[in-house]
């Protein structure tokens, strides 16, 4: 079965998910939507993929960019819509998706309640089968859950305390910051990230967060109390066996910070220097009895792309988790 897919919101996440859908032999990208006639709209138009909300038709006519139809027409043609509009807007669109009976995947900027089910492949792929709606959790939550679900299944987790060092803006965002400060955000505890983890994995977790002047990655400092005493070897074994986690041996590779990780992605020929994998610094893994410390880096613009592709399969097909991960990761060129 080929799943017909629409992308509503063709920005940072939407354009990446659209390209990933084009690489799947069991999916068809029917169209993407744009609200403004810019260069991305032009690129989608040239491929016959551009649809726009009806009230925006005139703007596109004036710009001379040809559209294939309206958002409503697009929704009539598809099985699944990936909503990658800015946070809070997906909630409004849910009524439209309901009207056309189309399955919808929302992003981490929406509240859990919008979909009623938060998704992360390694944690709960099977539970998504047959659901009408799912929300792929945010980039930070995806990074946390890849490690936490892996360790919870292999060893068992008692408690997690983590600090999220967040990038100030995506590279193209000129109006965000800070450019010269470290901002506790929020300054009151806890941050929403741990609460978001709990929408998928019911564990004792509390997080704090600060925002720093960088655009390329987030960095997480994790302190995990496990259910039993562990060795560093056992942690390494679990993380190395898990999909979508790259354990980076900085001692020998020279990769000791987020800039070097992104340089590695560039040298690997990754488009836009995307790194769909979570990067864990091997030397940061430190164990004391049941207690584990580690540091990991998240490429915020691309880490959720594989999970969006899996979410499409989980909602619309009965493909197994293992098969979906295999298809997604091989087509996107993830290394393991
Ligand atoms: P973005 O601003 O880069 O892209 C959003 C796109 O939606 C833009 O092209 C915008 O023009 C379009 N849009 C705006 N209003 C619209 C409307 N009414 N109808 C249709 N399209 C509309 O945003 P993004 O960074 O891609 O974020 C999208 C979602 O993904 C958010 O929920 C966000 O929280 C989440 N997310 C973002 C990141 C990240 O680092 N950028 C990471 C993970 C998850």
Distance from the alpha carbon of residue 158 to the mean position of ligand 1, in angstroms: 35
**Using an 8 Å Cβ cutoff, are 209 and 185 in contact?**
yes
* Residues ≥6 apart with Cβ < 8 Å to 188: none
Distance from the alpha carbon of residue 327 to the mean position of ligand 1, in angstroms: 26
Kindly state whether residues 180 and 269 are assigned to the same domain.
yes
Say what the pTM is: 0.98
Distance from the alpha carbon of residue 253 to the mean position of ligand 1, in angstroms: 35
In this structure, what are the phi and psi dihedrals at residue 76, rounded to the nearest 5 degrees?
Answer: -70, -20
Strands (E), the chain: 3-8, 27-33, 50-52, 69-70, 80-83, 103-106, 118-119, 133-136, 157-167, 183-184, 205-212, 218-226, 245-248, 278-281, 286-288, 291-298
What gap in Å lies between CA 184 and CA 202, rounded to an integer? 26
**Using an 8 Å Cβ cutoff, are 19 and 36 in contact?**
no
Kindly state whether residues 285 and 164 are assigned to the same domain.
yes
Kindly state whether residues 271 and 328 are assigned to the same domain.
no
Q: What is the pLDDT along the chain (336 residues), one digit of tens a residue?
A: 899 999 999 999 999 999 999 999 999 999 999 999 999 999 999 999 999 999 999 999 999 999 999 999 999 999 999 999 999 999 999 999 999 999 999 999 999 999 999 999 999 999 999 999 999 999 999 999 999 999 999 999 999 999 999 999 999 999 999 999 999 999 999 999 999 999 999 999 999 999 999 999 999 999 999 999 999 999 999 999 999 999 999 777 899 999 999 999 999 999 999 999 999 999 999 999 999 999 999 999 999 999 999 999 999 999 999 999 999 999 999 987
* ipTM summary value: 0.99
The two tokens of residue 33 are 């939507």
**What residues does ligand 1 touch, defined as CB less than 6 Å away?**
8-14, 33, 35-36, 84-87, 89, 107-110, 138-139, 170, 300-301, 304
**Using an 8 Å Cβ cutoff, are 332 and 20 in contact?**
yes
Kindly state whether residues 160 and 282 are assigned to the same domain.
yes
Domain extent, residue 320, equals 3-137+304-332
Kindly state whether residues 327 and 228 are assigned to the same domain.
no
Kindly state whether residues 313 and 294 are assigned to the same domain.
no
**Which residues are identified as catalytic?**
139
């Amino acid at each position: 079965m080929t799943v017909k897919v629409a992308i509503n919101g063709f920005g940072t996440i939407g354009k990446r998910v659209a390209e990933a859908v084009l690489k799947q032999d069991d999916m068809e990208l029917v169209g993407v939507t744009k609200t403004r006639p810019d260069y991305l709209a032009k690129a989608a138009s040239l491929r016959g993929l551009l649809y726009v909300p009806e009230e925006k038709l005139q703007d596109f006519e004036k710009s001379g960019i040809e559209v294939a139809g309206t958002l409503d027409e697009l929704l009539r043609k598809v099985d699944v819509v990936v909503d990658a509009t800015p946070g809070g807007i997906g909630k409004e669109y849910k009524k439209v998706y309901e009207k056309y009976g189309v399955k919808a995947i929302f992003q981490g900027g929406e509240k859990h309640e919008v979909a009623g089910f938060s998704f992360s492949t390694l944690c709960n792929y099977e539970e998504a089968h047959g659901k009408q709606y799912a929300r792929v959790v945010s980039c930070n939550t995806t990074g946390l859950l890849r490690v936490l679900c892996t360790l919870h299944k292999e060893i068992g987790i008692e408690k997690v305390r983590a600090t999220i060092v967040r990038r100030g803006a995506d590279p193209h965002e000129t109006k965000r910051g800070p450019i010269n400060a470290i901002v506790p955000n929020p300054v009151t505890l806890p941050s929403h990230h741990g609460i978001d983890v709990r929408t998928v994995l019911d564990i004792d977790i509390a997080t704090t967060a600060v925002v720093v002047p960088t655009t390329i990655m987030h960095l997480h400092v994790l302190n995990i109390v496990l259910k039993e005493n562990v060795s560093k070897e056992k942690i390494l074994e679990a993380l190395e066996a898990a999909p979508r986690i790259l354990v980076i041996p900085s001692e020998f590779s020279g990769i000791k910070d987020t800039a070097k990780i992104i340089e590695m992605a560039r040298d690997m020929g990754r488009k836009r220097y995307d790194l769909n994998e979570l990067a864990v610094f091997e030397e940061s893994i430190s164990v004391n009895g049941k207690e584990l410390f580690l540091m990991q880096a998240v490429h915020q613009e691309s880490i959720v792309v594989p999970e969006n592709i899996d979410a499409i399969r989980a909602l619309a097909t009965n493909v197994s988790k293992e098969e979906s991960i295999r298809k997604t990761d091989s087509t996107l060129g993830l290394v393991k």
